[in-house]
Amino acid sequence: MGRVNPVGLYSFYDEGKRCAETLFLDYYCQYNIKIKVLHLFNTYGPKMQPNDWRVIGNFIVQALRGDNITIYGDGLQTRCFCYVDDLIEALVRMMNSPVGLVGPVNLGNPREFTVRELAEKVVHFTGSKSKLIFMPLPQDDPKQRQPDIKLARDKLSWEPTISLDDGLKETIAYFKKILG
């Protein structure tokens, strides 16, 4: 699960996931409990909470309200965004896969974007007049995150199919509806 600070501000979240994964694997090894372990990378789409503070929700809400778009750091850090329908397809394939396929299997969209590119896309697709502003980078914010999905490709014949542009349009339409 990458480089993780065990004593940082967000360690409860990172380490909680790692601990849960270890326990599941222990139960698999010791009691042969049927488990599947998946590593989900950044996912987005309709039905996200407008106030969950993830980057896509934040940027869309800010753009639709005409507020400043808050880029943390220089915005050159990268993330890969997987549209929810693609992710669910992978989850179903994994659940239907043979018992022996335990994982961990990475699920995410390997196409990488900078946070700044994302902000520009959101402004473009919403037609907003919002300005991009730069704010301090949170502690332990990774500079790059990109899933290696070779295992999902090989074992689940899965690959994301929905581009960021198409996914953003759907997500913006959803937020427009709920924000009125």
Residues that bind ligand UDP (CB under 6 A): 42, 54-55, 58, 70-72, 77, 79, 115, 138, 141, 145
Q: What is the smallest separation between the CB atom of 39 and ligand UDP, expressed in angstroms?
A: 13
The CA–CA distances, whole Å, from 53 to 22, 154, 178 equal 28, 34, 16
CA distance 109 to 86: 9
Q: What is the smallest separation between the CB atom of 103 and ligand UDP, expressed in angstroms?
A: 20
CA distance 7 to 15: 9
CA distance 110 to 82: 8
Residue from 13, 31, 72, 83 carrying the catalytic annotation: 13
Beta strands (DSSP E) in the chain are 38-40, 43-44, 69-72, 78-80, 82-83, 105-107, 112-114, 132-135
CA distance 95 to 172: 30
Q: What is the smallest separation between the CB atom of 41 and ligand UDP, expressed in angstroms?
A: 8
Answer whether 166's CB lies under 8 Å from 44's CB. Answer: no
Choice between 115 and 168, CB closer to ligand UDP: 115
Answer whether 152's CB lies under 8 Å from 82's CB. Answer: no
Choice between 16 and 138, CB closer to ligand UDP: 138
Q: What is the smallest separation between the CB atom of 55 and ligand UDP, expressed in angstroms?
A: 3
Choice between 55 and 105, CB closer to ligand UDP: 55
Whether 13 is catalytic: yes
Cite the active site residues: 13
